[in-house]
Amino acid sequence: MLKTNKIYSQRAMNIHRSGPVFWGWYVVFSSFVMLTVIYGARYSFGVFVKPMFAEYNWPMTVISLAASINLLMYASGGVFAGWLLDRVAPKWITTVSVLLTTAGFIAASFVKSPLGLYLSYGVLVGIGSAGSGTVACTASIGKWFLKKRGIAIGIAAMGIGLGTLIMAPLAGYIVKSFGWRVGFLCIGALTCVVGIVMSQIFMGRDHPERYGLQPDGEALPPNQSNPHPHDGTVEKPSLKPILADPRFWLLVVCNMFAVMTVMMTFVHQVAYATNNGIDKLEAAATLGFIGMMGSGGKFFFGWLCDRIRDAKYSAALGFLLMAVGMFLLYRTTNVFMLYGFALFYGFGYGSLAPVTPYLISDRFGRQVLGATYGLLTFFATGIGGALGPIIGGFIFDKTGSYKSGWIMNAVFLLIISLLILALKPNPKEG
C-alpha cells in the first residue's frame, strides 16, 4: 500500500512538472481548438447546399437528407465514443475520428450522386465528428474539473462559435471563388492537420485521480491515500438507473427540440437569406456572426452555471433567447434584420454546449458523463437534429418558403424554456 501511494505521489509530481498550469487546462485548450475545426467544418454545410442544388438540380429535400444522415451517424457514434471515454484516455479515439472526418470531406469533393453525398458527408463525417466533437471534449474536460466545470466547458465550447465565425465565411469565399468541390477538399485538409496534432499532444491523459490529484488540480491531503489505490481507475456507474430516471428523459426532450431548430436553421438559413435578396457572402457571414455570439454565450452560460443555484435556469434563459431569435428570422427582409436574428439566436444557442453536460454531470455524476452525454446526444441529435434539416427542406418544397418552419421553431423553444424548469435536483439537494 505504501509503495502504491508513493507511485501516485510521483504521478502527481510528474503531472505538475509538465508546467505551472494544471493539466486539465491543456485539455480545455486542445478541446477548444478541435471544436473550432470540427464544428466550423460541419456547420459550414449550409454554404454548399445552394451550389450543389444549382449544379445538379436535386430537390432541396435530397440535399438536406445528407445533413440529417450526418447527424444520425454523429448521434449513433456518440453513444459508443462516450462509453469508451469513460474507460480510456481520448487520444486514439479522437485521432481515428479525425481521420474518418477527413476522409469524408475529401470523398464529398468527388460526389456525383446523392448516394455519394450520403456516404461521404453523411456517414463518414458524421461518425468521425462523433468521436472528436462535444461528447469527446466535454466528457474529457468534465473528468478534470468540479468547482470550475462550467467555465472550463464554456471556454472549450467557445471553439464551436469561433469555428463557425471563421470557417463559414472562409468556406463561402472558397466556394464562390473556386467551387464547392475545392471547398470540401480544403476543409478536409485543415481538419486532418489540426485534429491529429491536438489529439496526439494533449489528449493522452484521462482523469486526475490516476495521477493522485483531485479535480481542479487539488492534491490529495498528505494523510489521505489515493481513493483508487490499485490502478488509478474510477468506478463506472451503470446507465440502468439513469435510463429509469425521468430527469434524463426531460433533458432528452428539451435538447431534442433545441437541436432540431439549430440544424434546421444552420442548413437552411443561407438559402432563406439569399431568397430574400441578401448577398450570398453576407448570408454566409451571418453564420459566422452566430458563431461569434455563440462563443460569447458559451462563456457566459458556462460562467453562470458555476455561480447560480441550479444550472437549469441557465438552460431556460438560453432557450428563451433562441425563441426570440427565431421570431426575428421570421420577420427578416434585409441584412440588418438577419444580423438581429443572429445576435439573439447565437447568444442563446451558446448555452447548449456548456449547460447540457453541466446538468448531466450535476444530476448523474462526472464519471459517467461520457456515456450519459453520448446517449443523450443519440436521442437529441439523432432524432431532433436529423429531423430538423428534413422538415426545413420539406416545408420549402411544399410552400416555397421557410417562414412556417421558423414560427414552428419559435413555439417549440418557448415550450422547452418552461419545461426545463421542471428538472428536479438530486434528492440530497432537496
pLDDT-based confidence at residue 341 (cuts at 50, 70, 90)? very high
pLDDT-based confidence at residue 221 (cuts at 50, 70, 90)? low
129: closest CA among 163, 178, 153, 152? 163
Are residues 128 and 95 in contact, defined by beta-carbon separation less than 8 angstroms? no
User: What mean pLDDT is reported for the chain?
Assistant: 84
Quick: pLDDT tens for 285-311: 887 788 788 889 989 999 999 888 899
Residue type, 410: A
Calpha distance 303→54 (Å, rounded): 44
Q: What is the pLDDT of residue 204?
A: 79
Q: Which 8-state DSSP code applies to residue 218?
A: P
Residue type, 399: T
Q: What is the pLDDT of residue 12?
A: 46
Residue 3 has pLDDT above 70, yes or no: no
Q: Which 8-state DSSP code applies to residue 208?
A: G
pLDDT-based confidence at residue 4 (cuts at 50, 70, 90)? very low
Give the contacts of 5 (CB within 8 A, at least 6 positions apart). Answer: 225, 226, 229
Are residues 368 and 86 in contact, defined by beta-carbon separation less than 8 angstroms? yes
Residue 430 has pLDDT above 60, yes or no: no
Stretch 257-274: mean pLDDT: 88
For 96, 343, 359, the CA distances from 412, given in Å and listed in that order, are 37, 19, 21
Walk me through the domains of the chain, giving residue ranges and CATH numbers. Answer: 2-423 (1.20.1250.20)
Q: Tell whether the torsion through CA atoms of 53, 58, 61 and 64 is positive or negative.
A: negative
When mean pLDDT is compared over 56-60, 214-218, 232-236, the highest value belongs to 56-60
Calpha distance 322→349 (Å, rounded): 6
Quick: pLDDT tens for 160-208: 878 877 887 888 888 888 888 999 999 999 999 999 999 999 887 777 7
Stretch 85-91: mean pLDDT: 79
Calpha distance 352→192 (Å, rounded): 26
pLDDT-based confidence at residue 14 (cuts at 50, 70, 90)? low
Calpha distance 106→262 (Å, rounded): 25
